[in-house]
Amino acid sequence: MRLPKEDEYGCKCYLEHLHLIASEIFTFQTAMAFKVKDEVAVKAIKNGADNNFLNSIISISISRIEELRNGLGK
């Protein structure tokens, strides 16, 4: 479908705006997923879970688990 020339710019701006919103939502969801994983890992660490168990259950890296563990003073 071909738009009139005067409508092409507005349509392009609208599509770019939608793309920006989708990107922001994806970034937010990704950040929240990492935050939730960290919270779960901290609770599990406090309850005695070891690194390999956490890595296999919630797919968090061993290095991140160590950072969280060190942040707890353990």
For 9-55, write each residue's pLDDT tens digit: 889 999 999 999 999 999 999 999 999 999 999 999 999 999 999 99
What ranges in the chain are assigned the alpha helix state H? 5-46, 51-58, 62-71
CB 44 within 8 A of CB 29: no
| Sequence ranges of the domains in the chain | 5-71
CA distance 64 to 38: 8
What does the pLDDT read at residue 49? 95
Residue 1 pLDDT > 80, yes or no?
no
Amino acid in the structure at residue 34 = F
Over residues 60-69, mean pLDDT = 94
Predicted TM-score (pTM) of the model is 0.66
* Interior angle at CA 63, CA 59 and CA 67, nearest 5: 110
